[in-house]
Amino acid sequence: MKRDKISRLLAVSMSVCLLAVGLAGCSSSGGDSADRTEQENAAKDGASQESGEETEILVAAAASLEYAYEEELIPMFEEQNPGVAVKGTYDSSGKLQTQIEEGLEADVFMSAATQQMDALTEEGFIDGDSVKDLLENQIVLITSADNELGLAEFTDITKADTIAIGDPASVPAGQYAREVLTNLRIWDEVLAKSSLGTNVTEVLNWVAEGSAQAGIVYATDAATTDKVRVIAQAPVGSLAEPAIYPAGLVASSAHQEEARAFLDFLQSDEAMAVFAEYGFTSHADA
């Protein structure tokens, strides 16, 4: 009996020891696993910091700037600024103004007229100290390339039966067109035969495809296609001020440093040379 009792006690002791060893092993294994996970995460964080996170900024720009931005300026800036990506959104300056007022998370705004920039600055949406008047453009009368109306000067627009202009309510090119035509005393006559485009690109396309016999756009837009022909520029004195393109920083931008770098880039000699290739004139040289 005594021998059996001793045997049972030894068996229990052995079981306790084995259990203790097992628990210790599990604890050690769990600790090693946690350590490995922390080390892996630290390695990943280190690699991420070393490679750098890409920052994306959004530029809201007038539709007439799209070709110059997308084809040359944005790629040029991104090449010079690794880690910064630029996305462009393009429309009439009036629509972009409304979108910014309604919360569009843009970082830079470049309009085709001072009116929209001034309004946003007064409302506190644009950093007024950052605004620069960069470019000028010309207002021109166009027809399709194969049009045979025989138009020769700006006032000949009245000979067209169908006319395309930007909606003056939101499109700067349309506002300039209305001012020119009003000063030429033919606004009402032209308006009666006009379709109003939502932006200048739409107006250009209507004329290019023949939906409208004549239209009024920027000279830079007309230069982007061989499907239209420029008839005449707006007569001297028909505009109180030239078509000016200002650019500025959106005050609420979460990427102020990158946005300012892009704004500075737009003022550089190389960027201005690109704008010149697309038919714009530097405001400083005008």
- Reported as a single tens digit per residue, the pLDDT across 129-145 is 999 999 999 999 999 99
pLDDT of residue 53: 83
Given a cut of 80, whether residue 101 has pLDDT beyond it is: yes
Beta bridge partners of 108: 59, 249
Residues 251-262 have pLDDT tens digits of 999 999 999 999
Q: Which of 248, 239, 221 has its CA nearest to residue 111?
A: 248
Q: What is the pLDDT averaged over residues 257-274?
A: 97
| 109 vs 29, more confident | 109
pLDDT of residue 47: 38
Give the pLDDT of residue 285.
64
Q: 25 or 160, which is more confident?
A: 160
Query: Strand, coil or helix: what is 112?
Result: coil
Residue 166 has pLDDT above 80, yes or no: yes
Mean pLDDT of the chain: 86
- Provide the whole-model pTM: 0.74
- Domains of the chain, CATH where assigned: 55-136+244-285 (3.40.190.10), 139-233 (3.40.190.10)
Average pLDDT over residues 96-112: 97
Query: How far, in Å, CA of 231 to CA of 140, rounded?
Result: 7
CB atoms within 10 A of CB 253: 19
Q: Please report the pLDDT score of residue 23 as a whole number.
A: 40
pLDDT at 284: 76
Q: What angle do CA 14, 18, 22 make, to 5 degrees?
A: 170
Q: What is the pLDDT of residues 230-247, one digit of tens each?
A: 999 999 999 998 899 999
The tokens of 44 are what?
Answer: 């990943």
Residue range 12-64, pLDDT digits in tens: 444 434 434 444 444 444 444 444 434 443 443 333 334 468 999 999 999 99
User: What is residue 1's predicted lDDT score, i.e. its pLDDT?
Assistant: 41
Residue ranges of the alpha helices (H) in the chain?
Answer: 2-51, 66-68, 74-80, 93-101, 114-122, 172-183, 187-191, 200-208, 219-222, 256-266, 269-277
3-state secondary structure of 201: helix
Look at residue 52 in the predicted model and tell me its pLDDT.
60
CA distance 106 to 183: 36
